[in-house]
Amino acid sequence: MHLTFVTPPVLVGKRPAERTAGCTHVVYLAPNTYELMVVAMVEQSGQHRVDCKDLVYDRGKRSDFERWLQSDDSDLYLMWTVNLSIDNDLEAIALMLKHRPQCHIVLMGPGPTHFTERCLPDERVIVVRGEPEQTVADLIANMSDGGDWTKVQGISWRSHNGVVNNPSRALITDLDTLPLPARHHLEGRKYYNPKLKCEPYTTAVTSRNCPFHCIYCVPSSLTFAREIEHRREHGCKPPIGMRSVASVDREMEQLCRMGYKAVGFMDDNFIWNEERTLQLCEVMRRHGLVWGCQARVDAITEPIAEALGKSGCRYVDLGVESFDDKILAYIKKGITRDQIYHAVGLLKQYGVPVKLNILIGCSPLETPDTVRQTLREAQRLDVDQVMFNIVSPFPGTEYYQLCRDNGWISTGDYVPSDVQRQSILNLPHLTARQMERSLFWNNIRYFLSWRFANRQLRQFTSWHQFSHACRALRIKLFG
């Protein structure tokens, strides 16, 4: 069979959805490691011709997409779909079925896992729910060998009687059995992360999911799909999956051979315990890669901060959301304001750049005053970067049910929105308009301040890095 993994161009709206985190539009392009792992799983059999077509990277238009479809001979198209890309991907499906009426189309990711029926507009479309690697491999094996693919676990499909949801598939318990992402399909593409200021850049993952219970939280797009399906089946969050340090070491060695210089780890939480983190830091130090990760403030110890500083870590994303202890307790964040200050102090002590993630409207206790106070606290900490987002009531979260029950969703029910730009909530003390204005002006005050500009300008080593970062900042501030 000829299989093509497709990222369609912008067909609906003005900007492409970011498909790795899954809740914003693209600010800077990054490879979708989750999709590349599925590609690698399919290629393991050696029986299929596999291609990857990214029309967002290629800056393709509708006409380019249709022209390519007319000349293509794929038997099966696969797309990684997030909530923000559903409308765009449904339009892409319509064009695929128009120009390639004999093909099948497979959708993976959190979008079709939750909005399953909506993502099945035709009998030739199949949804892979939850964790996709083994399900996609089994589905393709059955389709190519003439087996009964309609019996594959973890899929949904449309029959003449309606939508059929097959039983869920068990989670992969040993992540080391998965192949490394098929990055050879990225040959000729260059990615750059403004936070790392080093290239070539790629992304990687060492673990899946998060055990904490923040009421608003949506993890990255792979673990969100995993979580939606597991909650549906078992009524609770899925267990954490971790790769061994040896497995991560092999991947970093491969990246060095391929010429990569920088890695952004997409784990929902990179730091799980001191022993594993110190071992991973040693792996990164030995390979000489520049890197960054996401972590909780209560995971930062002095030995970890020291190891991060010595191993080439150039950013740690800390999800702090607010500096108000009442709000932090309400959203079940499990941290305090004092812990935020302690973690930031340790990281700065050992020269590790810190990025704070602030979430406007994450609690009905939020007011214009608490938003202003959060900005003041973030500025006082004098960290490397601050990211402001607006909370979205994602289906499957406790916050969604709370907002829906209280009538706080201005659109009546959830509709996908860009958390870096839009609000669909009117909270008791904070309207959608106030949240959007707070986001915009907080970004302006922070990113256009002399303090931020001076710190960033000293870190650029080329005009290319500077121009790329300016382009990303323009998109972030003004769309």
Q: Which has the minimum average pLDDT: 171-185, 200-214, 307-321, 444-458? A: 444-458
Chain centroid to CA 253: 24
Give residue 476's pLDDT band: very low, low, confident or very high (50, 70, 90).
Answer: low
Q: Which residue has the higher pLDDT, 459 or 17?
A: 17
The ranges assigned to domains in the chain are 2-160, 186-478
Query: Which residue in 76, 95, 93, 77 sits closest to 85, CA to CA?
Result: 93
- The pLDDT confidence band at residue 460, using thresholds 50, 70 and 90, is low
Instruction: Tell me the fold of 2-160.
Output: Rossmann fold (3.40.50)
Nearest alpha-carbon partner for 111 in 92, 89, 93: 89
3-class secondary structure, 126: strand
Structure tokens of 207?
A: 């673990």
Residue 417's nearest CA partner among 435, 443, 442, 401 is 435
Q: Is 176 left (phi over 0), alpha (psi -120 to 50) or beta?
A: alpha
Rounded to the nearest 5°, which phi and psi values hold at 191?
A: -120, 150
Residue 479: band (very low, low, confident or very high) from pLDDT cuts 50, 70, 90:
low
Question: What is the per-residue pLDDT across 278-312, written as a single tens digit (0 to 9) for each?
Answer: 999 999 999 999 999 999 999 999 999 999 999 99
Q: What is d(CA 71, CA 163) in angstroms, rounded to the nearest whole number? A: 31
The pLDDT of residue 477: 65
| CATH 3.40.630.10 corresponds to the domain 186-478 | no
Q: Which two tokens stand for residue 188?
A: 């000729």
Residues 396-425: tens digit of each pLDDT: 899 999 999 999 999 999 998 888 889 999
Integer Cα distance of 58 and 443 in angstroms: 29
Please provide the DSSP assignment of 372-412 as one string.
Answer: HHHHHHHHHHT-SEEEEEE----TTSHHHHHHHHTT-BTTS
pLDDT at 162: 94
Instruction: Read off the pLDDT of residues 241-278 as tens digits, 9 standing for 90 and up.
Output: 999 999 999 999 999 999 999 999 999 999 999 999 99
pLDDT at site 375: 84
